[in-house]
Amino acid sequence: MAHTSFPSDLPVPTDDGLYNHLTNFTIPSDLSLPVARAPSKKVNLSVLKGLTVVFCYPRTGAPNETVPDSWNAIAGARGCTPQACSFRDNLSQLHSLGVSQIFGIATQSPEYQAEVHERLHLPYELLSDEKLEFQQGLNLPTFEWEGNKVLRRSMIAIQDGKVIKWWYPVFPPDRGVDDLIAWLKDR
C-alpha cells in the first residue's frame, strides 16, 4: 500500500484526555527544535509572532518500506504522509485564513525528516523532537514502536507562544486540516 493512502478499516483513536492540560498552556521558552533541512538552525515556538500551527505525528515510512500490520493495528498510528501532504495541499488557504507558520513535528532524526521533506515537496519545515524535549516540555502522549517513543497524532494552534486550540486525537489523519480550516473560518 502506498504511503499516501491508508486502509479504510484502521482502528479509530479515542480522546483519553491527555491533551486537556494544554488549554491556555504557555510554550516553555527554553524549547528549541532543530529544523530537518538545517539541523544547526533551531525554532523556538514560544517566541514566534502570529498564529503558528504544529502538527505532531508518530513517524513517516521510508521509501519502499512495507507498512506492517502491527503498525496499522495501533489506533491513530497510520497516516503520517497523508497528514503532511494535506497541510502541503492546503497551505495557501491556511495562510489566507491567518496562519503565519506551519511545522510538522516527529521524534525521527533531522536527517530522516529532511529526506521526507524533500520527497514530499513540503513547503513548510519539519522539526525533529528526537531528544523528546518538546514532548516532555508539553507533556504530550506517546507510544512505543520498535523500541522508540513516538508522538501521538495531534494539531496545536499557538498564538504568540500560547496554546489557543488543540485537536487530539486527529482522525482520519488527512482530514485534520479540514477541522483546522473550519476553526479558522469560525474564529
Query: Is the preceding omega at residue 141 within 30 degrees of 0, hence cis?
Result: no
Q: What is the pLDDT of residue 62?
A: 80
The count of other CB atoms within 10 Å of the CB of residue 114 is: 18
Convert the chain into a string of H (helix), E (strand) and C (coil): CCCCCCCCCCCCCCCCCCCHHHCCCECCCCCCEEECCEEEEEECHHHCCCEEEEEECCCCCCCCCCCCHHHHCCCCCCCHHHHHHHHHHCHHHHHHCCEEEEEEEECCCHHHHHHHHHHHCCCCEEEECCCCHHHHHHCCCEEEECCEEEECCEEEEEECCEEEEEECCCCCHHHHHHHHHHHHHHC
Q: What is the pLDDT of residue 69?
A: 86
Q: What is the pLDDT of residue 8?
A: 75
Domain parsing of the chain, residue ranges: 25-186
pLDDT tens sequence for the chain (187 residues): 344 566 778 889 999 999 999 999 999 999 999 999 998 999 999 999 999 999 999 998 888 878 888 888 888 888 889 999 999 999 999 999 999 999 999 999 999 999 999 999 999 999 999 999 999 999 999 999 999 999 999 999 999 999 999 999 999 888 899 999 999 999 9
| Opening angle at CA 109, ends 14 and 116, nearest 5 | 80
Topology, domain 25-186: Glutaredoxin (3.40.30)
Q: What is the pLDDT of residue 1?
A: 34
pTM of the full structure:
0.94
